[in-house]
Amino acid sequence: MSSIRRQVRQLLPDALLEIRAHCNVHGRFPNLVNPVLFNDKVLYRRLFDRRPVLSRIADKAAVRGFVESRLGPRLLPELYCLTANPAAIPFDALPDSFVVKPTHGSGWVRLVADKSRLDRAALIATCQGWLKRSYYEENREWIYKNIEPRILVEEFIRDGGGGAPTDYKFYVFDGRVDLVQVHADRFTDHRARLYTPAWQKLDALLDLEDIVGDLPRPANLDAMIAAAEALGSGLDFIRADFYDTGTRVVFGELTPYPSGGHERYRPQEFDRWLGGRWKMQTRR
């Protein structure tokens, strides 16, 4: 983004930029007076809901304390390093594989599957670039506005697939899971599928290709659902993500704004069905 364009964006109010982005993605103006569609409710939350807990759980470091307070430490991936100085990452002490990400953004991540092949200087430069960026200024998602920028180095979770593990995303409404999104091959051939909590495949898709073939019920589905519901207790909505290694459940992240409210469903009517699950706590 050019410096002039960035300066112009900074002068514009959040609501104008967010509503314009919403219209560009969905091809319609959002209903913010009485939102019904799920994505409209996400936008409503982005604009009006300022509960501190939402920012806390968006912070990739602070959320670990939130999870531990509700579930204990057993589901957390091992934390190797948390620093504001990427040059201080103790590469020699790290295991052969690990994950690097910043605390203050979404989608910024580097998977290191083989440390022996890592260009350390390039990774440090990437981390320094993340620390200079503001996810809030780029996307106007309020939850990231006041998060302290730092770099986390965490355990690389493996589920036998060779690359990134299959990602199970649980949509929790008032402490109850009503939808499971499954994402596979996220960094190579990203595909997704939707299921009920009873592992029944739904006749709906995201704006992604369907996963090829049958997808067995995960070994620890019930444990993941129980953990997601514990994390979502007391919240009108949250998305809780986990990995299942077959012998272990590992926490991924909590998301107050799935895809920033830009998730597109096929058929579009699914957006209405999902929105009906969310009894919003309106906070202005």
pLDDT at 8: 42
Angle ∠(127,243,63) on CA atoms, nearest 5: 55
Same domain, yes or no: 94 and 196? no
Same domain, yes or no: 70 and 140? no
Q: What are phi and psi of 19, to 5 degrees?
A: -65, -40
pLDDT at 89: 98
Instruction: Report the C-alpha dihedral over residues 39, 41, 47, 48, rounded to 10 degrees.
Output: -170
Boundary-marking domain end, from 100, 124, 156: 156
Report residue 258 as tokens. Answer: 């799935």
Same domain, yes or no: 57 and 181? yes
Spatial contact of 155 and 164, defined as CB atoms under 8 Å apart: no
Same domain, yes or no: 147 and 199? no
Same domain, yes or no: 53 and 105? no
pLDDT at 253: 98
Same domain, yes or no: 71 and 88? no
Mean pLDDT (10-residue bins), the chain, 284 residues? 52 81 95 96 96 98 98 98 98 98 96 97 98 94 97 94 89 98 89 97 94 94 98 98 96 97 95 96 57
Same domain, yes or no: 220 and 104? no
pLDDT at 284: 46
The total of structural domains in the chain comes to: 2
Domain span including residue 98: 78-156
Same domain, yes or no: 133 and 46? no
Boundary-marking domain end, from 141, 156, 171: 156
Same domain, yes or no: 128 and 165? no
Spatial contact of 230 and 71, defined as CB atoms under 8 Å apart: yes
The full DSSP string for the chain is --HHHHHHHHHS-HHHHHHHHHHHHHSS----SS--SHHHHHHHHHHH---HHHHHHHSTTHHHHHHHHHH-GGGSPPEEEEES-GGG--GGGS-S-EEEEETT-SS--EEES-GGG--HHHHHHHHHHHHH--HHHHH--GGGTTPPP-EEEEE----SSSSSPPEEEEEEETTEEEEEEEEESTTTS-EEEEE-TT-PBPS-EESSPBPSS--PPPTTHHHHHHHHHHHHTT-SEEEEEEEE-SS-EEEEEEESSGGGG---EESTHHHHHHHHT-------
CATH number at residue 252: 3.30.470.20
Same domain, yes or no: 123 and 66? no
Spatial contact of 236 and 186, defined as CB atoms under 8 Å apart: no
Sequence-distant (6+) residues with CB within 8 A of 241 are 167, 168, 169, 170, 251, 252, 253, 254, 255
Same domain, yes or no: 97 and 225? no
Task: Give the count of beta carbons closer than 10 Å to the beta carbon of residue 199.
Answer: 13
Same domain, yes or no: 211 and 277? yes
pLDDT at 10: 55
Boundary-marking domain end, from 156, 184, 211: 156
